[in-house]
Amino acid sequence: MDALQALVDWLYKVEPQLAEDQPVHGDLDLVMNLMDAHKVFQKELGKRTGTVQVLKRSGRELIENSRDDTTWVKGQLQELSTRWDTVCKLSVSKQSRLEQALKQAEEFRDTVHMLLEWLSEAEQTLRFRGALPDDTEALQSLIDTHKEFMKKVEEKRVDVNAAVAMGEVILAVCHPDCITTIKHWITIIRARFEEVLTWAKQHQQRLETALSELVANAELLEELLAWIQWAETTLIQRDQEPIPQNIDRVKALIAEHQTFMEEMTRKQPDVDRVTKTYKRKTMEPTHGPFIEKSRSGNRKSLSQPTPPPMPILSQSEAKNPRINQLSARWQQVWLLALERQRKLNDALDRLEELKEFANFDFDVWRKKYMRWMNHKKSRVMDFFRRIDKDQDGKITRQEFIDGILASKFPTTKLEMMAVADIFDRDGDGYIDYYEFVAALHPNKDAYRPTTDADKIEDEVTRQVAQCKCAKRFQVEQIGENKYRFGDSQQLRLVRILRSTVMVRVGGGWMALDEFLVKNDPCRARGRTNIELREKFILPEGASQGMTPFRSRGRRSKPSSRAASPTRSSSSASQSNHSCTSMPSSPATPASGTKVIPSAGSKLKRPTPTFHSSRTSLAGDTSNSSSPASTGAKTNRADPKKSASRPGSRAGSRAGSRASSRRGSDASDFDLLETQSACSDTSESSAAGGQGNSRRGLNKPSKIPTMSKKTAAASPRTPCPKR
C-alpha cells in the first residue's frame, strides 16, 4: 500500500510539468535543452511502468482473496490507473509540442542568419564605393547599378518582415528564459536593415548630386574657357600697344586693368570648383591658390607669384583634358595680368619721378633729410658709420644710394643719383665723411653743435678721421663725454676746457690732439726710439738717491704758491707760455731727468692728486709723480729764485701738500684760474708761443700743452747733496 501511495504522489507531482499551457517555444538552444529534459523524464516514466503493472496485479489479487472490505483498495487502484494514463498522454503531447517548437526555432535561426549575411555584404558594398568618376557616362552607369541594388533592398524588406513576424509568433508562446534572446534577434535584423537602407539612400543622393554637379561644371567649364580665351586675347593686344607718357592716361589704364583684375578674382572660386575633382585625383599634395585674393591699390607693386607646378596626369585625369587646359590657361592669364599691372605701375612711378625730379632742388632735399634725421633722433655720423662697413672713412656711390633708400627716407632713385653727384665733389666715385658732412652742412655756422657733447663728438670724429693706419684707430662713444680709445678700449672722460677738447689721462688732462699723437701709431712718424725713451735717460753728472721721509711741517700760506717748484714746473710745462721769462734752448724733455734731491724734497712722497688738477694739464701720460719728474720740475725752476730764496721751497712743499689734498676732486674753477694766470703772464713774455700751439689753429691755445720735441728747458741748478 505504501508503494501504491508513493507512486500516486509522484504522478501528482509530475503532472503539472506536462500541462498543455507550459511554454516550450524559444530559440534553438532552449528548445534543445527542453527536449533533453523531457527525454530524461520519459525514461523515468518507462522505468515506473513495471511498478504500475505489479501494483495493479497485486491489488486485484488482494481484492479477490480478501474477506474484508476492499472498497478503499479499489479506489486507490482506480486513481492510479487514471493518473497514469493522464501522465502518459501529457508526456506524448509535450513531446509533439517540443518537436514543433524545435522546427520553428530552426526556421527562425536560418532566416535571421541569411538576412544578416546579406546585410553585411550590402554594407560592405556601400562602404567601399571609392571615389566617384569625373565623367558623366561612368557616373550614370553607377546610378543605374545602384538602382538595381535598391530594388534588391526592397525585396529583402519582405524577408525581414517575415522574419520579424516569425519572431513575434515565437515570442508570444516563448519560454520565459528565452524572451530576451528572441527580442534581441528581432531588434538586430530591424536595425541592420534600416542602417543599410539609409546608407543606400545616401549613396543614391550622392550619385545624383555628383551627376548634377558634373553637368553644371561642364557648362561652367565651357563658359570659363570662352572667357579665358577672350581675356588672353585682350591682354596680348593691350601689351602690344605702347604705354602713353601721360600720367592721367596711365592712371586710367591702371583703373581699367584693376577692374579686369577684380573680375578675374571673382571668377577664381568658379575655377577652383571646376578643377576640384582634378585636384583630388592628383597624387601630389593639393596646392593653395597661387594668387592673393586681396588686391592692393594702384600704386602697390605686385610681386611675381610662382606658378603652381603642373601635376603629372594619371590615367583618370587624362580622360578630361579640358580641365587640364583650363588650369594651364588660367595660370597663364594670371601671369599676363600681373605682368601688365607691374608694367603700368612702373610706368606711373617713372612718370611721377620725372615730374618730381623736374623741380628737384638739392637744398630742399637736404633740409627735408635733416628734418627727417632729427625726427628720428638719428645722427649723421651714426648713419655714415652704419653704411661704411669696412670703416675706411669712405663709401661708394652705390652704397650711399642703397643706404639712403634702405633707411626708408621718402625719396626716389632718380633723386639719389643726382644727390650722389652733388655729394661726390671730386668725382672719384667715393664719398668720404668730409664730403658727406660738407654737403649736408654747407653753412657751418647754421649747423654748429649746440651742446658741448656735440662739439666734443665732432672734434673727436675730425681728429680720428686723420688716422692713416691700415686699421683705423678705434674710438667708441660710451656715453655723454665718455669715450673708449685704442685697442685697450680704456674708458676716458673727455671735456671742453677753454675751447679745447681735453682727455682725462691718469690724474690730469691732456689735449685731444696730443693724446692722439701719443696713442695713434700713424702720428708717431719721425719719433725715434731714443726720443720715445727720452724721459728715462739721466743727464750727464746726475745720479739718483734716496732720502728719508720728513715730518710734515707747518703748511705755507697760499701766497707762497708762486715760488713752489711744482708750480714752476707746471708753469714751465705750458706751450712756451712760461710764467717767468727764461732762456730756452733745444733739449730733451726734462721729464726724464733725475737729480739728487735736497733734504727737504718730497722724493718719496709723490703728489698724484695735485697733478690730477695741475701738472697733468701739460699732457704728461707718464707717472708725473715719480722722483724723476719731481727732480725735473725742480731743475726747471728759476735758478735765481732757487738760490736766493731757499725758504720758499719749504713753502712750496707745504703748498704742494695743501694742493695735493684736494686730489682729483679739484674743481675746474681752480684749473681755469691757474691757466688764466699763466696765460696772462705768458702773453707779456717774449718767448715765442708757436712751437706748442694747437695743431691746425693759427691763434695760440689757452690750454697748456707740452711740446714733445721743442720743449723750453731752463738752466739746471745743482742741488746740494747730503
Which pLDDT belongs to residue 278? 54
Instruction: Provide the grid cell at 141.
Output: 552607369
Mapping DSSP onto H, E and C, the string for 255-299 reads: HHHHHHHHHHHHHHHHHHHHCHHHHHCCCCCCCCCCCCCCCCCCC
Give the chain's count of helices (H) and strands (E): 23, 9
Q: Which residues lie below 8 Å from residue 257, measured CB to CB, with a gap of 6+?
A: 238, 337, 340, 341, 344
Give the total residue count for the chain: 722
Q: Is the Cβ–Cβ distance between 679 and 575 less than 8 Å?
A: no
Q: For 293-407, list the strands marked E by DSSP.
A: 394-396
Strand-pair partners of 46:
none
DSSP state of 25: B
Q: Is the Cβ–Cβ distance between 417 and 401 less than 8 Å?
A: yes
Which pLDDT belongs to residue 84? 78
- Tell me the CA end-to-end span of the chain in Å, nearest whole number: 169
Strand-pair partners of 503:
494, 510
> 394: closest CA among 354, 365, 436?
436
Diameter of the chain by CA atoms?
A: 195
> C-alpha dihedral over 328, 329, 335, 337, to 10 degrees?
-160
Which pLDDT belongs to residue 612? 36
Q: 434 vs 429, 438, 475, 698, CA distance in Å? A: 14, 6, 18, 21
Which pLDDT belongs to residue 683? 42
> 280: closest CA among 130, 423, 156?
130
Strand-pair partners of 396:
430
Tell me how far apart the alpha carbons of residues 443 and 363 are, in angstroms, rounded to a whole number.
11
Tell me how far apart the alpha carbons of residues 12 and 23 are, in angstroms, rounded to a whole number.
20
Q: Which residues lie below 8 Å from residue 401, measured CB to CB, with a gap of 6+?
A: 413, 416, 417, 420
Chain-centroid distance of CA 342 in Å reads 31
Give ∠ CA 173-178-180 in degrees, rounded to 5: 110
Strand-pair partners of 495:
502
Q: At 74, which helix (H) or strand (E)?
A: helix 71-127
- Which residues of the chain are under the pLDDT cut of 50? 281-318, 445-447, 528-531, 555-722
Q: Is the Cβ–Cβ distance between 482 and 491 less than 8 Å?
A: yes
> C-alpha dihedral over 545, 615, 492, 384, to 10 degrees?
-130
DSSP 506-535: TTEEEEHHHHHHHH-GGGGTT--HHHHTGG
Q: Is the Cβ–Cβ distance between 328 and 310 less than 8 Å?
A: yes
Which pLDDT belongs to residue 602? 37
- Structural domains of the chain in order of their starting residue, each with its CATH number: 1-240 (1.20.58.60), 242-357 (no CATH), 533-712 (no CATH)
Which pLDDT belongs to residue 527? 55
Which pLDDT belongs to residue 255? 92
Q: Is the Cβ–Cβ distance between 473 and 520 less than 8 Å?
A: yes
pLDDT, tens digit (0-9, with 9 covering 90-100), for 503-562: 999 889 999 988 988 888 888 665 544 445 555 556 666 666 666 766 665 544 444 333
- One-letter amino acid of 69: D
Mapping DSSP onto H, E and C, the string for 173-214 reads: CECHHHHHHHHHHHHHHHHHHHHHHHHHHHHHHHHHHHHHHH
Give ∠ CA 577-536-629 in degrees, rounded to 5: 45
- Cβ-count burial of 240 within 10 angstroms (0-12 exposed, 13-18 middle, 19+ buried)? exposed
CA atoms within 13 A on the CB side of 426: 11
Tell me how far apart the alpha carbons of residues 255 and 257 are, in angstroms, rounded to a whole number.
5
3-state helix, strand, coil in the chain (%, to 5): 60, 5, 35
Rg from Cα positions in the chain: 61
Which pLDDT belongs to residue 262? 92
Strand-pair partners of 483:
477, 492
pLDDT, tens digit (0-9, with 9 covering 90-100), for 399-427: 888 888 888 888 888 888 888 888 887 77
Mapping DSSP onto H, E and C, the string for 89-102 reads: HHHHHHHHHHHHHH
Residue 484, phi then psi, degrees to nearest 5 = -110, 130
Instruction: Provide the grid cell at 307.
Output: 606658378
Tell me how far apart the alpha carbons of residues 134 and 213 are, in angstroms, rounded to a whole number.
10
Task: Give the SS3 label for residue 309.
Answer: coil
